Chain A
């Protein structure tokens, strides 16, 4: 009895202290969304990061947005671009901006800001977003140091501008909807300098939220942007908190300290045993538009022989990898494009079957009846799940006589080895930035150099030229047919990688959440305006 009294006392003391410390700036009745991160972001400046998208998605606007519908389909919708026209040659895009878009500091968003944003993407010395936007005319000239002005963006007046491309690119509108193309304020960029993306009050956007506080490695706070042109977001404030330990994040969610739990931070076993059962009604699943693959370096003996590569494709038991490591949460794919993405072709599915006996026969035919030695190069900084894939791959290869040694590298060394084109076999995944086949096939198979730095070393120059040219085809059906043909050639005929699977991204939401729409490509990051609270 006494002990119970004591613990009640302690609990109430704790509650009082807890309340005293967590008193918030929000008014009564205002909803606060609590989110947990496994690791802190490094910057809020989207030109300097290729993965810290959570804050930019919530505090900036893009010209267009991709909307994820309830049935899982996606569509491109206008955002701060009110309207646009594309010239017949597919080169010039004429935009009209909405006239009611204001940055959170009260200044209007104009075509000048759009121009400044795109120019900065290429003039900023440490910009890392020079990948798929270099299709804009004159971008390459800036990167080559020839000029400081971006020829391809032309401001007509405050609300009108044109973007001209180097060559036609059917996926360009989708590119404009990526986090890469968040529109920044010219005045803010000039005034803030290096503080942009680092200091909350110097990082001004026009999106549904504005950032008010960021304590590095600890927490970040978003507050509704009173100047926002669209429907105000449901939560008045968003509090991010960093939980470096998965166990702490898990407990924090169950304690009610976190409202949306990203299952990717947790062990698959915990997700299955705890969340898939007790929280089954609160799970939100979205397809991750990313393909897992096992690379087969075509420049490393004996994988130079297509028969050997075909044998290796047949040797891998993909379904058992998917089932035992990822709890079966995904689908096998047999090509390059992720399931559900534009370009995904049903006709190119179903040809690859697990067949160890057939693999052995092919190996013998290729002159390796006793197999060979090969290295599986593991990035020890990658997720545990990904590292576990190598264990099964090693066993599968062993079963057909191939002696695979697992060698661990730290992330930086692993990347260096991959960039030099020397990793024989590795597994990784590529998630779409924009919904277009070019976003994935171009990365691996459009140039000898690009293929080398992914340690694939694809050899067929003619095919690579066709890959690079496919995005210029303006007729949608013709273009997709070409992409499907290229996929068939590269994966089925040339066996240049073992296509594995596409996964689902799982989230668990608390009972305070009415509706949560994740990012269309299944990122862990999302625009907080897509969360509706009860």
Chain B
């Protein structure tokens, strides 16, 4: 409990740093967001009026102080372009991202762990080569290729799945596979190498020599020890999926966080961009925290060391 609290406190400087850095970066780059808003239809009067309306004529320090004060009240400002409070926009988009992330993670973990374990136990046999080849493809083929391929084959040629998301679970299957396969690949490879390492350890030989059943050796001793790095990776992957999957979301038209962030960048929508960055930072920090806590639960040595 104490560790968790300590970690939570250490989040504060990180968050402050992120807030300050994104704020300054966005003000340093040239360009006026007002002009984006107006497109081809601008005149001097409108530019000046909107600049003042959006407080862009105030000093950077003033802008920052009012922004920071807003954050403390839970107010991330109103999106320049979408004309809606940033928190509303984020909380509307987040459920879509969560659904996709959970489904992808489930696929990634199931396939990744399964393939990794089988490959390790059948080391250098056909199954090993097969699974590792499959996972290599997962790691190396870019997500947009996988996504477009799946969409073309299973939604366009054979119409098994909907082409784009309509909110239903079935429409999330293809995007989840596209996104999850990539993660499954790295999980499988790490599980395999870690398990292979552990299987060569002395205590495994000891267990075997004592006559422990083969399955008990693997699941009771080897796997438990080899999964530590894998769990860290899984938590980090989940956190990154939670912060939005731009490409998958675009191809399958899922209105998630990734799309929101890209639009914010394209439109120079500073409040929205700051908001999404802050939000994803928090997600990633929590992902790390959860990984650390899990570590402690699985491995008592870590708990004691802290």
A contact set with B: CB distance below 8 Å: 7, 10-11, 13-15, 17-18, 21-22, 39, 42-43, 45, 48, 50-51, 125-126, 128, 130-131, 143, 194, 197-198, 215-219, 241-245, 247-248, 251-252, 254-255, 257, 381, 410-416, 419, 428, 430, 449-450, 453
Chain A hits for B96, CB < 8 A: 218
- Docked CA distance A11–B96 (Å): 26
Chain B hits for A14, CB < 8 A: 159-161, 170
For the complex formed, measure the closest distance between the CB of B292 and the CB atoms of chain A, giving whole angstroms.
34
Which of chain B's residues has its CB closest to A431's CB?
B40
Which of chain B's residues has its CB closest to A18's CB?
B162
Which residues of B (239-272) have their CB < 8 Å from a CB of A? 249-255, 259-260, 263, 266, 268
- Docked CA distance A254–B157 (Å): 11
B47 within 8 A of A: yes
B30 near A413: Cβ-Cβ < 8 Å: yes
Chain B hits for A450, CB < 8 A: 43-44
- Docked CA distance A311–B218 (Å): 81
B253 near A242: Cβ-Cβ < 8 Å: yes
B83 near A45: Cβ-Cβ < 8 Å: yes
A218 near B165: Cβ-Cβ < 8 Å: yes
User: Given known contacts A42-B83, A48-B83, A248-B252, is B35 in contact with A11 (CB within 8 Å)?
Assistant: no
B31 within 8 A of A: yes
User: Given known contacts A51-B39, A411-B36, is B163 in contact with A198 (CB within 8 Å)?
Assistant: no
B200 within 8 A of A: no
Which of chain B's residues has its CB closest to A412's CB?
B31
Q: Sort A-B residue pairs by CB-CB distance and give the 4 closest, nearest first.
A: A412-B31, A217-B255, A415-B35, A50-B41
User: Given known contacts A42-B82, A125-B53, is B166 in contact with A50 (CB within 8 Å)?
Assistant: no
B168 within 8 A of A: yes
A449 near B163: Cβ-Cβ < 8 Å: no
Interface residues on B, range: 35 or more
Which of chain B's residues has its CB closest to A145's CB?
B49
- Docked CA distance A70–B152 (Å): 38
B contact set with A: CB distance below 8 Å: 29-33, 35-47, 49-50, 53-54, 81-84, 89, 92-93, 96, 148, 151-152, 155-156, 158-168, 170-171, 249-255, 259-260, 263, 266, 268
A413 near B89: Cβ-Cβ < 8 Å: no
For the complex formed, measure the closest distance between the CB of A75 and the CB atoms of chain B, giving whole angstroms.
25
- Docked CA distance A198–B151 (Å): 32
Q: Which of A11, A43, A251, A410 interacts with B160 by CB under 8 Å? A: A11
A218 near B253: Cβ-Cβ < 8 Å: yes
A197 near B83: Cβ-Cβ < 8 Å: yes
25 residue pairs of the A-B complex, CB under 8 angstroms, read A10-B158, A14-B159, A15-B159, A42-B81, A48-B83, A131-B43, A143-B45, A215-B255, A216-B93, A216-B255, A218-B96, A218-B165, A241-B164, A242-B255, A248-B151, A248-B252, A251-B152, A412-B30, A412-B35, A412-B268, A414-B31, A415-B31, A415-B35, A416-B31, A453-B42
- Docked CA distance A131–B38 (Å): 11
User: Given known contacts A217-B93, A449-B44, is B39 in contact with A255 (CB within 8 Å)?
Assistant: no
- Docked CA distance A217–B164 (Å): 12
Which of chain B's residues has its CB closest to A257's CB?
B163
